[in-house]
């Protein structure tokens, strides 16, 4: 059984929108969030057979963390410790959050020409509405689902793969 979104809320702040084209671009970005690109929706993702990617309790709910927030399984979202991460200040360790669903990994390996890539990093900066619910800007610069909507942005195979892996397509 596939569960599809039956409603979603998009809140526009008119003082931050300059023209009709920007409204259209923001609306497309927000629809992707409603359809599944949101850290509070990852625990609800389903596999290609319609089965939950994250185990469910007797009431059909995923597990929760200490704050009562639903938590996705490691087959969907994974924390990865990058060792020897090169920065302008020298090498360091950095823990990142990655989406690791099958289609996303397939697209990422092809895009970055790396057969060992385990997933695609999510944004780790910004507030609760940005971190974890967007692609990492430094990796997918003009992708429409980064946390900053740029001029000339476009939806890429990464975001379409996310929707496919969510069980919604």
pLDDT digits (tens, 9 = 90+) for 99-132: 999 999 999 999 999 999 999 999 999 888 899 9
Distances in Å between the Cα of 15 and the Cα atoms of 10, 19, 23, 96, 151 are 15, 11, 11, 33, 18
Determine the length of the chain: 169
Residue 98's CATH number: 3.90.132.10
- Is the confidence at residue 2, as pLDDT, over 50? no
8 occurs within a structural domain:
no
53 occurs within a structural domain:
yes
Domain membership of residue 20 as a residue range:
15-166
- Is the confidence at residue 40, as pLDDT, over 70? yes
- Is the confidence at residue 93, as pLDDT, over 70? yes
Q: Report the domain count for the chain.
A: 1
How much is the average pLDDT of 87-101?
93
How much is the average pLDDT of 148-168?
88
Residue 142 contacts residue 152 (beta carbons within 8 Å): yes
Provide the b/e sequence for 28-44 (b: ≥16 CB within 10 Å). Answer: ebbebbebbbbbebbbb
Q: Is 134 annotated as a binding residue?
A: yes
State residue 26 phi and psi, 5-degree precision: -65, -40
How much is the average pLDDT of 5-13?
73
CA distance 109 to 158: 11
State residue 165 phi and psi, 5-degree precision: -70, -15
Q: Is 111 annotated as a binding residue?
A: no
10 occurs within a structural domain:
no
What is the average pLDDT value for the chain, to the nearest integer? 89
């Amino acid at each position: 059984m596939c569960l599809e979104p039956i409603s979603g809320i998009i809140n526009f702040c008119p003082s931050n929108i300059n023209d009709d084209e920007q409204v259209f671009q923001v609306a497309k970005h927000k629809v992707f969030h409603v359809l599944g690109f949101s850290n509070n929706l990852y625990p609800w993702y389903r596999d290609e057979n319609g089965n939950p990617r994250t185990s469910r309790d007797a009431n059909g709910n995923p597990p929760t963390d200490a704050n009562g927030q639903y938590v996705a399984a490691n087959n969907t979202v994974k924390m990865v410790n990058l060792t020897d991460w090169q920065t302008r200040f020298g090498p360091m360790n950095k823990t990142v959050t990655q989406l690791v669903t099958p289609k996303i990994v397939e697209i990422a390996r092809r895009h970055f020409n790396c057969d060992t890539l385990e997933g695609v990093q999510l944004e780790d900066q910004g507030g609760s509405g940005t971190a974890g619910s967007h692609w990492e800007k430094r990796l997918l610069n003009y992708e429409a689902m980064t946390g900053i909507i740029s001029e000339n942005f476009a939806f890429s195979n990464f975001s379409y793969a996310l929707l496919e892996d969510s069980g919604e397509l």
